[in-house]
A and B are shown apart, each in its own frame.
Chain A
Amino acid sequence: MWKFLHKLASPPHFYDLSAKIIPWFVVPGTILIVYGTIAGLFYAPPDYQQGDAFRIIYVHVPAAYLSMLAYTVMAVSAGIGLIWRIKLSHAVAAAAAPLGAWFTFLALITGSIWGRPMWGTWWEWGDPRLTSELIMLFLYFGYMALRAAIDDTTKADKASAVLALVGAVNIPIIHFSVEWWSSLHQGATIVRADGPAMPAEMLLPLLAMILGFSFIFGALLLGRVRSEVLFRERRSRWVKNLVLSSGEQG
């Protein structure tokens, strides 16, 4: 087990292995998203309150879920990198941040588009989830800005890892405080989607979308880590050999 992990953490081995693994993420991810899109948009019954407008949850909820998952991946791998000094782990954290920021952005945009017909406004400060997501986006921005500001990769890895961990401790507090804050002036205008339990025709496509998004996130993450590893190891022999051998083929 330990031997396997050690081997996995070595960049050339990871580079080879990840190329073989990525299809195992792309294929089920694509199938699930295609199924979820078709079933969600055409076969799921319209909501009794929101009509067809609710269908945006098939993008919104997976995006919001992944904005959290990406931060978890980022903070955990940053912590592993900081404690056990595994370079690959830092590369994973660095690769996860922009993905997480994009999913957060997608969740905000889709939430805003949904809010327009439901609340009559693009933005509703009274909704705690929307505000939490916005703060989440700022946390990603801070993380990426810190990385970008430090030229030395090793230093950037460690400094941003500390920030990711501090952020991870704070995220539950931020969520809680935003909940408390909005509960003080909760308007009656907000229609809650989580009223009655969802029928299976609605729920199954949603679960498929969440799982499909997660698979695609995994594939994108692996792809990004691969290019991150190549860039970081650009002076090493195995990358040189890789480039030379691919030059011969092409």
Chain B
Amino acid sequence: MTSSEDTMPGLWQGFMAVIRRDLLLAWKRPGDILNPLFFFAMVCTLFPLAVGPSSEQLSISGPGIVWVAALLATLLSLNSLFLSDFEDGSLDQLILSPQPLPLLALGKTVAHWLSAGLPLVLVSPLVAVTFQMPGRTVGVMMLTLTFGTISLSLLGSIGAALTVGLHRGTALLSLLILPLAMPVLIFGARTVALAAANDAVSAGIYFLSAYCILALALAPFATAAALKISNE
């Protein structure tokens, strides 16, 4: 028992090691974290430029704009989730390791959310202010974005795992994930819009959190299966 403990790290240690490694890699390449954030801010800038500066109109379409931009920014960062691991062979090691692959895939997804989703949630109030969003709405928006980006990271990890070895993977990843992500977008954006209209928001938040938990329970297994297939 003791000897196996010496040689083999436990489930939790393996899980944490994957997260620590990915966060360290992200930290060493800050562009990977910052680029999706700039992209998010720029998409949010495009809409007022395209639609017009009327603050009345922007306060109506603001929640939708922020959510679409968040969805696109998450997709952008998802493309590289397994790519470097696939190229340098770390993915083989992850698959061969004694830890269950779904757990390690979940670790990578958690690291992805911490380095892509969480910064997005934290930056979103800056964008919301320019759309004349009141304080309560901003709070609801951050809450929905938290659940939403976790769900999108989990859902997107399936798509990233399926497309990892392929050329032209970026466009394909969007094509696979966007239809699946529509419930998250619908509930996220509509809930923020309801909050802006001073309506009840609990239904949407319940749904988003339920979706998040469902994705948390199922997505790692699909991601692991997809990783094994892609890495054959």
B86 on the interface (CB 8 Å rule)? no
**Majority secondary structure, B binding face:** helix
Find residues 168-187 in chain A having any chain B CB closer than 8 Å to their own CB: 169-170, 173-174, 176-178, 180-181, 184
- Whether the Cβ atoms of A174 and B229 lie closer than 8 Å is no
Contact count A vs B, C-beta below 8 Å: 75
Chain A 188-229 interface mask (CB, 8 Å, partner B; 1/0): 000000000000000000000000000000000000000000
* Residue count of chain B within 8 Å CB distance of chain A: 29
Q: In this assembly, does A98 line the interface, its C-beta being within 8 Å of a C-beta of chain B?
A: no
In the complex, are the beta carbons of B232 and A163 less than 8 A apart?
no
B205 at the interface (CB under 8 A from A): no
Q: Could you tell me the distance between the alpha carbons of A150 and B232 in the complex, rounded to whole angstroms?
A: 12
Q: Which of A139, A163, A184 contacts B162 (CB 8 A)?
A: A163
From residue 184 to 205 of chain B, which have CB atoms closer than 8 A to chain A? 186-187, 190, 194, 203
Q: Which residues of A contact B25 (CB under 8 A)?
A: none
Chain A nearest CB from B194 CB (Å) reads 8
Among the 9-residue stretches A56-64, A113-121, A154-162, the one with 4 or more Cβ atoms under 8 Å from chain B is A154-162
- Chain A residues with CB under 8 Å of B175's CB are 138, 141-142, 145
Residue A243 lies at the interface, judged by CB distance under 8 Å to chain B: no
- In the complex where A155-B229, A184-B190 touch, is A166 in contact with B179 (Cβ < 8 A)? no
In the complex, whether B127 has a CB less than 8 A from a CB of chain A is no
Is B158 close to A, CB under 8 A?
yes
Query: Bound complex: CA of A155 vs CA of B225, how far in Å?
Result: 12
Which residues of B lie under 8 Å from residue A176 when comparing CB positions? 183
- Shortest beta-carbon distance, B155 to chain A, in Å? 8
What's the Cα separation between A181 and B191 when bound, in Å?
10
6 A-B pairs besides A139-B180, A173-B211, A180-B190 with CB distance below 8 A are: A159-B229, A162-B222, A162-B226, A167-B180, A169-B218, A177-B187
A-B contact pairs, 9 of them (CB 8 A): A139-B180, A146-B176, A155-B229, A158-B229, A159-B226, A162-B226, A174-B183, A180-B203, A184-B194
